[in-house]
Amino acid sequence: MNKSKIYPGYFLIGALAIYFVLLLLPSLVGIYYSFTDWNSFDPAIHFVGLANFKKVFSADELYGFYIWNTIKFTLFTTFLKTLIGFGAALLLIRNVKWINFHRMVMFSPQVLSFVIVGLIFRSLFNPTEGFINETLKLIGLGALGQNWLGDIKWAFSSIMAVDTWKGAGYLMVLFIAGLKSIPEMYYEAAEIDGANYFQKMAKVTLPLIMPVITITLVLNITYGLRVFDSVYVLTNGGPGFATGVLNTVVFKEFSKGTYAVGSALSTILFVFICTFCYFLIQAMNKKEVDY
């Protein structure tokens, strides 16, 4: 039986072509544009070498701050979502009444778009009319009310809180599936050996859900570095430039018509994510346990 006759390669063409032309090709072409002066005011494109990257990494521009913001966002949201998601999974794995209802509710923010979530929280966070400050006033704690999205001190934390609110349930579902897949006999064996709760957690649970933790880390970190919607809808990078992240700045450059700079920023992000994934997969492959 000739396998490639029965399973012909041309069955792959549809998926490969659409994916390559509209997702990967732009990133590759974009690398070339990063080294040019492509913009909307001058139809001719000239090669300028490293000028765009020099601009991005120079101390008197804000780009470094935006890159730092993006990294900060990624670290904080990844940590918070993993912590809350894992905690909720431990809580909602068994012995709770209405367990399916709670799981469903916890996951529900995940199905709404970032636009909807962003607009809901812009309403809630509104300093003079929003739910949060109004409710604080009602219970006599009006002094605690802040201009959540308009104050440099609070804006970035507020965005990260909203993002965590939306994403934690997704991780909870992954962790529940991971916890369920651990055979019960391991816990029984550990108990016979006299292990307490924390020993069981450290020696049985954590090593065995390492694959799930790996996946959630990859998804969260790559999402965090690419974040756009939440920031754009909640503050559009404001107040001033305080909450700008890589992708919102790319959009600003795109709107201004300085395409080459936007392309250089995207290329930096591309290299970031590729490098990160490479090292993470290397590191995690050594750590995982088989059973």
Partner 1 sequence: MLKWIRPLLKNAFAWLLSIVVLIPFAVMLVNSLKTREESYSMTLKLPAVLQFQNYLTVIEQGNVIPSFFNSFMYASLSVVLVVLTCSMAAFVISRNDTRLNRFAYFFIIMGIVLPVNYVALMKVMQVTMLNNTRLGISLLYTAMNIPISLFITCSFIGSIPKDLDEAAIIDGCGPWSLFFRIIFPLLKPVAVTVGVLCFMASWNDFMMPLYYLNNSAKWPMSLTVYSFFGASMQAQRQWNLVCADIVLTSIPVIVVYLLGQKYIVSGITAGAVKG
Among the residue ranges 145-153, 195-203, 237-245, 270-278, the one whose residues contact partner 1 (CB under 8 A): 270-278
The alpha carbon torsion through 14, 20, 26, 32 (nearest 10 deg) reads -140
Q: According to CB under 8 A, which one of 145, 150, 211, 238 is a site residue for partner 1?
A: 211
Q: With respect to partner 1, which residue has the nearer C-beta, 193 or 256?
A: 256
The CA distance from 198 to 220, in Å, is 26
Residue type, 229: D
Using an 8 Å Cβ cutoff, are 69 and 243 in contact?
Answer: yes
Exposed (0-12), middle (13-18) or buried (19+): which is 219, by Cβ within 10 Å? middle
Please tell me whether residue 186 binds partner 1 under the rule CB under 8 A. no
Please tell me whether residue 51 binds partner 1 under the rule CB under 8 A. no
Please tell me whether residue 164 binds partner 1 under the rule CB under 8 A. no
- Tell which residue, 201, 171, 204, has the closest CA to residue 84: 171
Please tell me whether residue 157 binds partner 1 under the rule CB under 8 A. no
> Binding to partner 1 (CB under 8 A): which residues in 232-261?
232-233, 247, 250-251, 253-254, 259
Q: With respect to partner 1, which residue has the nearer C-beta, 130 or 195?
A: 130
- Least distance in Å: CB of 207 to partner 1? 13
Please tell me whether residue 224 binds partner 1 under the rule CB under 8 A. no
Using an 8 Å Cβ cutoff, are 117 and 166 in contact?
Answer: yes
Using an 8 Å Cβ cutoff, are 242 and 91 in contact?
Answer: no
Q: According to CB under 8 A, which one of 112, 189, 202, 206 is a site residue for partner 1?
A: 112
Residue type, 288: E
- Least distance in Å: CB of 90 to partner 1? 10
- Cα–Cα distances (Å) from 89 to 5, 11, 75, 105, 174, in that order, read 47, 40, 21, 13, 9
Please tell me whether residue 30 binds partner 1 under the rule CB under 8 A. yes
- Least distance in Å: CB of 53 to partner 1? 15
Please tell me whether residue 143 binds partner 1 under the rule CB under 8 A. no
Q: According to CB under 8 A, which one of 226, 241, 242, 284 is a site residue for partner 1?
A: 226
Identify the helix (H) or strand (E) that includes residue 228. Answer: none
> Binding to partner 1 (CB under 8 A): which residues in 52-111?
88, 91-92, 95-99, 101-102, 104-109, 111
Binding letters toward partner 1, positions 114-133, x by CB under 8 A: xxx--xxxxxx-x--xxx--
Q: According to CB under 8 A, which one of 53, 57, 75, 134 is a site residue for partner 1?
A: 134
Burial of 221-244, coded b for 16+ CB within 10 Å and e otherwise, reads: bbebbbbebbbbbbbebbeeebbb
